[in-house]
Amino acid sequence: MRYSGLNVLWQGLTGNKGWRPAWRNPDPKPEYDIVIIGGGGHGLSTAHYLAAEHGLTNVAVLEKGYLGGGNVGRNTTIIRANYSLPGNSEFYSHSLELWEGLEQALNYNVMHSQRGIINLFHSDGQRDAFARRGNAMINQGDDAILLDREGVRKMLPYLDYEQARFPIYGGLYHPRGGTARHDAVAWGYARGADSRGVDLIQNCEVTGIDIENGVVKGVQTSRGAIRAKKIGIVVAGRSSQVAAMAGMRLPIESHVLQAFVTEGLKPTIDHVISFGMGHFYISQSDKGGLVFGGDLDFYPSYAARGNLPMAEHVAEAGMTLMPMIGKAKTLRSWGGIMDMSPDGSPIIDRTHIEGLYLNCGWCYGGFKAVPASGNCFAHLMATDRPHEAATGFRLDRFNTGHGLMDEEATGAQHNLH
């Protein structure tokens, strides 16, 4: 079923009885050419591009819960291409281009909104670093504008510019950055993959990976054994646990990241803003809630909820930046499990086991990567060659030390990520 304005009108006039489920709910088959473990944003987009760009449709996505119930439906939805290191720059640039055509490609409204991102800076040194980053973005073909204090004030009049401790010197403006509705992205890719014949199997937990003589043969699941010629592990915060089923120890730590949403308010904040002197970033959802977040809780955990010290830090940073936020009531907060890599950059690679592929290490920035990650991972799984936008995301860089992309990790500007 194609979605269109005309269809909405027709369904409205005929009692909305003609809508069909957006995807089927099939039982698993005994065998597939490709099995993707994980029905989050990256797993679903991989399945979509395998079918749409490589004609591979004998594919199953195995999801232990429901589609989009992981981090893809838990994040603060910021989309940007503002990385500065070769390897990352071209990848996120590729992702931003895919975002810009995504709704047409999927025939699905993911509410992509290029409302612009402004990263604030608060010292001369920080201005220099942002100027360098902006130049790298422009060299990559993306957009960046360095604003002085008055330039920022015109766009964001409600910030506290005069406070003595962290006065705002200016901001790096990335107009093509923005947000999208997170779970709609999962649903759009799910529908795209399903309509091409991919089986999306929910409530199907992978409990083991079958390997014979160094070659993958299939998976054990809560719904029985499934044979497969190729298997992709795309499980974000659970990457270490699932890779351990294949005897692999990954350079990944799982950490909690929290987000917060207030009651619905009148439209006030029409950009994404990040504070340069504390870990705090904010935007306003289309429903009116202020959506904001901070840093990791800084201890490894598989709990999808956070602790109070980080909630307090986020509240303090928000109050410092925009005291008006103190009047809003926080309605919800939650945590997601982040797959943190040592250099802050992801892994899209084959493994030493034939037929087993790995996609992980997205840290707290994997939502904006969903289109390019799926696109590049599908290319790798279909052709056994890395996509030209993802050649640097090799697993062995953590063994050899060559090609590390230390874009962030524990660097001084972790608030940019």
Ligand X SMILES: Cc1cc2nc3c(=O)[nH]c(=O)nc-3n(C[C@H](O)[C@H](O)[C@H](O)COP(=O)(O)OP(=O)(O)OC[C@H]3O[C@@H](n4cnc5c(N)ncnc54)[C@H](O)[C@@H]3O)c2cc1C
Cα-trace Rg, the chain: 21
Residue number, 62 or 159, with CB nearest to ligand X: 62
b/e for 203-224, b at 16 or more Cβ within 10 A?
A: ebebeebbbeeeebebbebeee
Rounded distance, CA 162 to CA 167, Å? 6
Residue number, 70 or 386, with CB nearest to ligand X: 70
Site for ligand X contains 69 (CB under 6 A): yes
Length of the chain: 417
The answer to whether 47 and 188 have CB atoms below 8 angstroms apart is no
Rounded distance, CA 71 to CA 235, Å? 10
Site for ligand X contains 259 (CB under 6 A): yes
Paired sense of beta strands 224-233 and 31-37, if any: parallel
The one-letter code for the residue type at 124 is: D
Closest separation in Å from C-beta 297 to ligand X: 11
Residue number, 77 or 140, with CB nearest to ligand X: 77
Write out the binding residues for ligand X, residues 150-209 only, by CB under 6 A.
205-206
Closest separation in Å from C-beta 339 to ligand X: 7
Token pair belonging to 118? 């402004």
Residue number, 47 or 156, with CB nearest to ligand X: 47
Closest separation in Å from C-beta 210 to ligand X: 14
Residue number, 180 or 277, with CB nearest to ligand X: 180
Give the C-alpha distances (Å, rounded to integers) separating 23 from 3, 126, 264. Answer: 14, 48, 31
Site for ligand X contains 250 (CB under 6 A): no
Q: Residue 405's closest CA among 391, 396, 393, 417?
A: 393
Closest separation in Å from C-beta 240 to ligand X: 11
Site for ligand X contains 294 (CB under 6 A): no
Closest separation in Å from C-beta 334 to ligand X: 7
Residue number, 46 or 320, with CB nearest to ligand X: 46
The number of residues that bind ligand X (CB under 6 A) is 39
Strand partners, 62: 37, 201
Closest separation in Å from C-beta 300 to ligand X: 14
Write out the binding residues for ligand X, residues 70-99 only, by CB under 6 A.
70-72, 74-78
Near ligand X by CB under 6 A, which window of 50-58, 141-149, 232-240, 395-403?
232-240
Rounded distance, CA 193 to CA 408, Å? 33
Question: Dihedral, CA atoms, 343, 347, 350, 356, nearest 10 degrees?
Answer: 120
Q: Pick the binder of ligand X from 28, 47, 64, 295 (CB under 6 A).
A: 64
DSSP 407: S
Give the C-alpha distances (Å, rounded to integers) separating 47 from 199, 216, 233. Answer: 9, 19, 12
Q: Pick the binder of ligand X from 257, 380, 395, 404 (CB under 6 A).
A: 257
Site for ligand X contains 235 (CB under 6 A): yes
Token pair belonging to 274? 């990040």
Q: Please give the helix or strand (H or E) that residue 193 lies within, else none.
A: helix 182-195
Write out the binding residues for ligand X, residues 3-62 only, by CB under 6 A.
37-43, 62
Token pair belonging to 209? 């990976």
Write out the binding residues for ligand X, residues 342-401 only, by CB under 6 A.
362, 364-368
Near ligand X by CB under 6 A, which window of 92-100, 156-164, 234-242, 405-413?
234-242
Closest separation in Å from C-beta 207 to ligand X: 7
Q: Is 369 helix (H, G, I), strand (E, B) or coil?
A: coil
Near ligand X by CB under 6 A, which window of 19-27, 68-76, 142-150, 310-318?
68-76
Nearest-CB residue to ligand X? 40
Closest separation in Å from C-beta 154 to ligand X: 25
Footprint of ligand X on this chain (CB under 6 A)?
37-43, 62-65, 69-72, 74-78, 205-206, 234-238, 242, 257-259, 293, 336, 362, 364-368
